[in-house]
Amino acid sequence: MDIQLARRIVEALADRIVAEADTLTALDQAIGDGDHGLNMKRGFEAVRAELDALAAGGVPALWSGVGRTLVMKVGGASGPLYGTLFLQLGKSWPATPDAAGLARCLEEAVAAVAARGKSQAGQKTMLDVLLPVAARVAAGDRPAALRAHAAAAAEATVPMLAERGRASFLKERSIGHLDPGAHSSRLMIEAVCDVLEELG
């Protein structure tokens, strides 16, 4: 992966999140603070505005720069968590980004999110999408399969009881709702898959 491809991926992430901000807000109004869409939109608009500078230092610096921007611009828990994901991608980025190295890098980034949020799979969070998709990347799945896994994993949060974040305050009333963080993770994975599929 070169800087041109990494930049295209960041642009695709920003475009998808900004386009789906209202949907994310509606999901968060049901079981959270109602600001997930607005916060994520603000963060990725800032990333898009700063992209030339962020991309000037190469791929690891780009991921780290995205992470720092999200930490600073996205409110609530999502900023630190998504920021941690990208910061760790920058730290773990392999010198030779082959398939195995990229899979390890992604797994380390998702593990960093789990550590930051003190969370794990099954608690109705973004990890319910990120963890299984990272495992499928390690298994060598192609973009179409990853997209399907992300969609299924996000939908699987609907019957879950929230155990982390604002939604956990609702206890049983959180059941029956799609987790906003899981959905934003799904959108981001779909955006990456779109770019990769364009390459063939």
Task: Using CA atoms of 64, 163, 130, 39 in order, give the dihedral in degrees to the nearest 10.
Answer: -50
pLDDT tens per residue, range 39-71: 999 999 999 999 999 999 999 999 999 999 999
Contact assessment for residue 148 and residue 186, using Cβ atoms and an 8 Å cutoff: no
Output the CA angle 173-174-179, nearest 5 degrees: 160
Q: What is the pTM of this model?
A: 0.94
Pick the range with the lowest mean pLDDT from 56-65, 106-115, 147-156, 170-179.
170-179
Contact assessment for residue 3 and residue 58, using Cβ atoms and an 8 Å cutoff: yes
Q: How far apart are CA 142 and CA 171, in angstroms?
A: 37
Burial classification of residue 169, based on how many CB atoms lie within 10 Å of its CB (0-12 exposed, 13-18 middle, 19 or more buried): exposed
* Residue 96, pLDDT score: 85
DSSP for 104-157 reads HHHHHHHHHHHHHHT--TTSSSTHHHHHHHHHHHHTT--HHHHHHHHHHHHHTT
Check pLDDT > 90 for residue 188.
yes
Check pLDDT > 80 for residue 102.
yes
pLDDT tens per residue, range 119-136: 999 999 999 999 999 999
* Residue 159, pLDDT score: 96
